[in-house]
């Protein structure tokens, strides 16, 4: 596995990452601070399979975040915590607000701002890490590729792929791991609103995350 001994793995993003974590900073294992989502599963598997590595998993996801809002708290919720590895999954709210809040353009984060914001954050952060960045694409659990929100999510996911290559980051293709399950199940098997995963959906995310880190299942 790519994470070395005593590594601090910080995972941040929006509600999919937040998943009811404790505040202000969720870390460690006492009383399950990491929430009910994929960070909890990732932390549990890493420390059950590689206990000798003593890896601290930290969750600073915040429900409702866009790339713009994430950038505003980046110093306190990422850099000040001095992580060795930083994982970011952001973008669904950047897209969603354009559909559920069309009369509030001030809340919209278009693809140009999204790319420029993440590029700036990655440029700032990468030199400070002893490990690497992990870029998780945003996803939308929808099989109809012509669906307007699904199509736009695909555009933002492509931006993540470009930035991951530019910065030499580890890429986690979350859309692909969901679509594998959609080959045999309806989207409601994974999520009630096509955005917020249930336990099966979060487990799929955790598995894709760990595979990208060469985790030996």
Give start and end residues of each alpha helix (H) in 50-100: 67-72, 74-77, 92-100
Q: Is residue 170 part of a domain?
A: yes
Contacts of 187 (CB under 8 A, 6+ apart): 141, 142, 143, 194
Q: How far is CA 180 from CA 17, 34, 71, 147, 209, in A?
A: 21, 26, 32, 18, 15
Question: Exposed, middle or buried: residue 87 (CB in 10 Å: 0-12, 13-18, 19+)?
Answer: buried
- Residue 67's pLDDT is 98
Contacts of 96 (CB under 8 A, 6+ apart): 149, 195
Q: How confident is the model at residue 185 (pLDDT cuts 50, 70, 90)?
A: very high
Average pLDDT over residues 134-153: 96
Compute the distance between CA of residue 94 and CA of residue 199 in angstroms, rounded to an integer.
Answer: 24
In the sheet that holds 133-136, the strands lie side by side as 26-27, 56-59, 8-13, 85-89, 133-136, 170-172
Q: Is residue 128 part of a domain?
A: yes
- Residue 20's pLDDT is 97
State the chain's mean pLDDT as an integer. Answer: 97
The closest alpha carbon to 155, from 69, 147, 75, belongs to 147
Average pLDDT over residues 95-124: 96
Q: Is residue 200 part of a domain?
A: yes
Average pLDDT over residues 38-44: 98
Could you tell me the residue range of the domain that residue 185 belongs to?
A: 8-212
Q: How confident is the model at residue 50 (pLDDT cuts 50, 70, 90)?
A: very high
CATH code for the domain in which residue 198 is found: 3.40.50.1110
Compute the distance between CA of residue 148 and CA of residue 162 in angstroms, rounded to an integer.
Answer: 22
Q: Is residue 111 part of a domain?
A: yes
Average pLDDT over residues 157-182: 97
Average pLDDT over residues 17-32: 95
Rg (the chain; Cα; Å): 16
Beta-strand ranges (E) seen in 71-184 are: 85-89, 133-136, 170-172
Residues with a known catalytic role: 15, 193, 196
Average pLDDT over residues 130-154: 96
Q: Is the pTM of the predicted complex or chain greater than 0.75?
A: yes
- Residue 169's pLDDT is 98
Site of tokens 């941040």: 12
- Residue 83's pLDDT is 98
Compute the distance between CA of residue 140 and CA of residue 182 in angstroms, rounded to an integer.
Answer: 12
Q: How many domains does the chain have?
A: 1
Percent of the chain at pLDDT exceeding 90: 99
Contacts of 147 (CB under 8 A, 6+ apart): 140
Q: Is residue 2 part of a domain?
A: no
- Residue 85's pLDDT is 98
Average pLDDT over residues 83-97: 97
Q: Is residue 217 part of a domain?
A: no
Q: Is residue 160 part of a domain?
A: yes
Average pLDDT over residues 108-129: 98
């Amino acid at each position: 596995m790519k994470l070395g001994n005593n590594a601090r793995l910080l995972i941040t993003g929006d509600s999919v990452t937040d998943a009811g974590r404790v505040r202000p900073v969720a870390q460690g294992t006492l009383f399950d601070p990491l929430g009910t989502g994929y960070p909890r599963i990732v932390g549990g598997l890493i420390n059950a399979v590689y206990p000798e590595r003593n890896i601290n998993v930290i969750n600073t996801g915040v429900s409702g975040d866009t790339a713009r809002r994430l950038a505003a708290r980046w110093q306190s919720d990422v850099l000040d915590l001095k992580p060795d590895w930083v994982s970011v999954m952001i973008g669904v709210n950047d897209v969603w607000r354009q559909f559920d809040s069309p009369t509030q353009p001030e809340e919209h984060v278009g693809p140009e701002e999204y790319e420029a914001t993440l590029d700036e954050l990655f440029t700032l952060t990468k030199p400070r890490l002893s490990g690497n960045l992990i870029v998780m694409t945003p996803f939308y659990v929808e099989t109809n590729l012509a669906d307007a929100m699904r199509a736009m999510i695909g555009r933002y996911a492509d931006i993540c792929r470009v930035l991951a290559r530019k910065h030499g980051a580890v890429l986690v293709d979350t859309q692909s791991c969901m679509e594998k399950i959609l080959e045999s199940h309806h989207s409601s098997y994974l999520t009630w609103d096509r955005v917020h995963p249930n336990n099966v959906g979060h487990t799929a995310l955790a598995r894709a995350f760990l595979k990208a880190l060469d985790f030996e299942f």
